[in-house]
Amino acid sequence: MDKRRKVLIIRFSAMGDVAMTAPIVKQIAEQNIDIEFVYLSRPLFEPFFANIPNLTFYPFNPKLYKGLGGLFRLYWQLKKLHVTEVADLHFNLRSRIISFFFKANGLKVAHLDKGRAEKKDLTAKHNKVLKQLKPMWLRYLEVFEHLGMKTSLVNGLSKAKSESISEIVEALTGKKGVENWVGVSPFAQHLQKVYPIDKMEEVVRFLDGQNIRTFIFGGGTDEKTIGERWQTSYPNCVSVIGEIKLKEELNLIAQLDVMISMDSAGMHLASLKNTEVVSVWGATHPFAGFLGFGQRESNCVQADISCRPCSVYGNKPCFRGDIACMQLIDPKHIIDKTLQILKKR
């Protein structure tokens, strides 16, 4: 009798990147219940993969596995799990080295095709080729297809939101009444992906005046200071930055009627919890394939400016020097998109 298949999934990197894989992995695991999955990533991201019966999360601390020797030691530990195949959803130097060790031991390895050439054309300063590229969720799906799995995905949000609010979250937010709850995730790792804070405050101010409760998400000292200032200024605004852990943040996101987010982790966390997103795009563009899983392009807010996108990840300095792609977005556009979604509920 053949032993049960056990697939190692590798995805390091930033929170949003890992969160984006979670809905795909969940559906793949549900369709391939006879396969065991092991997800290798940073410990912080374990809540993304809760309640998947045939998946085990393996926490990876990069400080403990430095250099080639450290990665070989990690491989040796993973080898004890009796992995049969490897799905590399990252395909960076670290994941490629780990995959190489397994491949050298006779295991089948499938890796992500990042489509670098197409993305280079999309973000070119001159002779830009502005077209929709293959979505990242489909690129992830192809990795599992190469391993011969069932891969029928539904790229949409579930209409049924059955997750009840936790006691920890309710102690911070209070009970949800008839008022709408809107999440605001106004920050991102790179400046070129951040809507001007004063303009986002206009959005928060308007929603507050409509008796809509807003919850501010983020992390870090500076972001916490902004969140606390808004909370003090607007009676219907609550900053959860530094107040609850990631698990509870996800529980709160599940209660929201809509999330307003940059092209950042907030959008992908909302997708995990079947929450519709109004996403704001500056230097980046949905055409690169990073729109949140299940989210609609019609809910994207972006300026029609010829230099966009200038980078895939928003990590390149604005060559104009004014980040016009964000400055040209009127707060009213974000407000209108948000109200449209709320009216449908």
| Tens-digit pLDDT profile for residues 48-96 | 999 999 999 999 999 999 999 999 999 999 999 999 999 999 999 999 9
When pLDDT is cut at 50, 70 and 90, the band that residue 1 belongs to is very low
Nearest to 98 by CA among 11, 24, 4, 18: 11
The contacts of residue 247 (CB under 8 Å, 6+ apart) are: 47, 50
Residue 203 placed within a domain: yes
147 CB contacts (<8 Å, ≥6 apart)? 7, 85, 87, 108, 110
- Provide the whole-model pTM: 0.95
Q: Binning pLDDT at 50, 70 and 90, where does residue 3 land?
A: confident
* Rounded-to-5 percentages of helix, strand, coil across the chain: 45, 15, 45
Note whether 171 and 137 are same-domain residues. no
Q: Are residues 315 and 181 in the same domain?
A: yes
In a domain, 157, yes or no: no
Residue where a domain terminates, one of 113, 146, 179: 146
Q: 324 and 188, same structural domain?
A: yes
Question: Looking at the structure, do residues 104 and 234 belong to the same domain, yes or no?
Answer: no
Q: Are residues 134 and 243 in the same domain?
A: no
**288 and 179 within one domain:** yes
142 plus 176 within the same structural domain = no
Asked if residue 156 belongs to a domain, the reply is no
Whether 133 and 216 share a structural domain = no
Decide: 273 and 157 in contact? Cβ < 8 Å. no
**Number of structural domains found in the chain:** 2
Give the C-alpha separation, 326 to 91, whole Å.
31
Mean pLDDT to the nearest integer, 214-234: 97
Are 111 and 248 contained in the same domain? no
Taking alpha carbons only, the member of 176, 167, 173, 170 closest to residue 237 is 173
Q: Are 189 and 230 in contact (CB under 8 A)?
A: no
Q: Tell me how long the chain is.
A: 345
Q: Is residue 34 located within the same domain as residue 127?
A: yes
Q: How confident is the model at residue 344 (pLDDT cuts 50, 70, 90)?
A: confident
CATH number of the domain enclosing 198: 3.40.50.2000
Say what percent of the chain tops pLDDT 70: 99
Is the domain of 47 the same as that of 182?
Answer: no
CA distances from 288 to 116, 137, 138, 323 (A): 10, 12, 12, 19
For residue 197, the enclosing domain spans: 167-344
**199 and 113 in one domain?**
no
182 occurs within a structural domain: yes
**Mean of the per-residue pLDDT values of the chain:** 96
Paired residues of 39 in beta bridges: 9, 57
- Residue by residue, DSSP assigns 32-77 as TTTSEEEEEE-GGGGGGGTT-TTEEEEE--GGGS-HHHHHHHHHHH
Please give the backbone phi and psi of residue 343, each rounded to the nearest 5 degrees, phi first.
-65, -25
Q: Per residue in 279-331, pLDDT tens?
A: 999 999 999 999 999 999 999 999 999 999 999 999 999 999 999 999 999 99
- Does the N-terminal peptide bond of residue 309 adopt cis geometry, omega within 30 degrees of 0? yes
